[in-house]
Amino acid sequence: MTQPNLGNYFAELQANAPRIGRTRAAERIARLRALKQALDSHRAEAHAALRADLNRAEPDTDLNELLPVTSSIKYVIKHLRAWMLPEKHGLPITLIPGSAEVIYESKGVVLIVSPWNFPINLCLVPLVYAVAAGNTVALKPSELSPATSAFLAKLISTVFPPEEVRVFEGGVDVAKALIDHPWNHIFFTGSPKIGSQVMASAARYLTSVTLELGGKSPVIVHPKYGAEAAGARVAWAKGLNAGQVCIAPDYALVRKDQQDAFIAGFQKGVRQHYGESPAHNEDFGHIVHERHWDRLETWVEEARISGAQIWQIDAPDRSKKYYPLTLVWDAAEGIELSCSEIFGPILPIYTFIETSDAIAHVEGGTRPLVMYQLSHDRAWSDGITAATRAGATVINDFFVHYMAPSLPFGGVNTSGIGKSHGLWGFRELTNARSIYRRGRWSPTMLLAPPYTDWKRKLIAAVARWL
């Protein structure tokens, strides 16, 4: 696809944005219903695309790709009429007579750029909110999941005319060329590194951005939780999509005397879910690309050389893009596994003696997308939450907050800017416009020059009231 075409397509979406922005709730709901229907009837193609791109097991595709989209559609349909109503606001006495409200109008033309790890979910959930908010949309799925990108292009063309929603397949060059237009909003999901480049490009046109990024999400284990049970639960969480999940636990913090029990629990958990050789297990995902496989292998090798202990359930196999669930402990500070988002099935373990050491470990790094805690001690959990900053805290489970549609989803600083889902997601993609209405007579003119004595007294009184 050449860049002049991108310009034409942008102009087409932009020209159509005012008409779409005027659509009523019923029309937007009809579009969302059509999208849900199309997804339901193309489920088998979605399964095949995800199998081809990521060796994703079909139940995983149902649970983690299709369900988040269809449940978002249902939630939005239920609430959209209320969200679109003007919001009445009270006024101070000095602004009476008059009335005030906020209307949530469309932003206009929105670009959604998505990653490969949940390629249907992370394209279509933002799309649901962008459509609900009355925008026209360009969708750029990832070049690393090409079968799913082709599936999405076909699916979207059956639901939306191209001047309303258009999918742009292609590589980084297409993403860069798209970013270089005056969008009214960019909704980007991906790595912090590319997110910062997207924000810099958006600054050129002062385009607003939502950045759904990643980072190092810890799981902190309470000393009385049961270290072996904790290890087993983390093994499941780290195995989902072979650890290639933005909200996967990146590393574990365990009290020093419980490390051995945690390791034993993790090993047991891996065997329980995937058997002795997950390399041959159809339910265990692949690493998306050889480049990412090489990165993981290099990082584990660096840890080994620096003196870390390493356990792997079976051998890595580059020809199959298979990387095994791996535990790393006694790792040196400053190595990649300790500093960078892992985005693979490798779990480093760090130990603490006092809870304050665990807090210092988390606060010493960038702000996480999620903080996981395994704990039945409410005061302990609240203390850690109060002492840290993260996009979310999840206690005694993994991932599930993503499925609670009324909770804001997003990070803090390097893990993200802006929120999606529910009312938060709708408002993120609208412009909150203040409307103030005066009647026929306005007392404001009483405050206009010339400043006679009585006007000076009046202004002084108003200043005291306000």
Residue 268 to residue 275: CA distance in whole angstroms: 9
**372 contacts 218 by C-beta, under 8 angstroms:** yes
Span from 77-85, 210-218, 313-321, 421-429 in contact with ligand NAD (CB under 6 A):
210-218
Residue nearest to ligand NAD (CB): 214
Binders of ligand NAD among residues 85 to 144 (CB under 6 A) are: 113-117, 122, 140, 142-143
The nearer residue to ligand NAD, 188 or 225, going by C-beta atoms, is 188
Site string (404-433) toward ligand NAD, x via CB under 6 A: ------------x-----------------
DSSP secondary structure letters along 62-118: IIIIIHHHHHHHHHHHHHHHHHHS-EEE---GGG-S-EEEEEEEE-SEEEEE--SSS
Contacts (Cβ under 8 Å, ≥6 apart) of 115: 122, 142, 144, 189, 190, 191
Q: Rounded CA gap, 429 and 107, in Å?
A: 6
Minimum Å gap between C-beta 277 and ligand NAD is: 27
Q: How far is the CB of 216 from ligand NAD (least distance, A)?
A: 10
Closest CA to 465 of 92, 113, 167: 92
Catalytic residue among 65, 123, 228, 246: 246
- For residue 332, give the DSSP letter: P
Per-residue binder mask for ligand NAD (CB under 6 A), 273-292, x = binder: --------------------
The single residue among 191, 306, 393, 413 that binds ligand NAD, judged by CB under 6 A, is 191
Comparing CB distances to ligand NAD, the nearer of 190 and 422 is 190
State the Cα–Cα distance between residues 20 and 13, nearest whole angstrom.
10
Residue 123 a catalytic site member: no
Q: Note whether 241 binds ligand NAD by CB under 6 A.
A: no
From candidates 286, 341, 348, 405, binder to ligand NAD by CB under 6 A: 341
Which residue has tokens 């209320």? 82
Q: Which of 212, 228, 341, 428 is catalytic?
A: 212
Residues 6+ apart with CB under 8 A from 257: none
53 or 341, CB closer to ligand NAD?
A: 341
Specify whether the CB–CB gap between 308 and 332 falls below 8 A. Answer: yes
Stretch that binds ligand NAD, among 16-24, 49-57, 192-200, 447-455 (CB under 6 A): 192-200
Q: What is the greatest pairwise CA distance in the chain?
A: 91
Q: Which residues are catalytic?
A: 212, 246
Tell me which residues touch ligand NAD (CB under 6 A). 113-117, 122, 140, 142-143, 172, 175-176, 179, 189-191, 194, 197-198, 212-214, 246, 341, 343, 369, 416
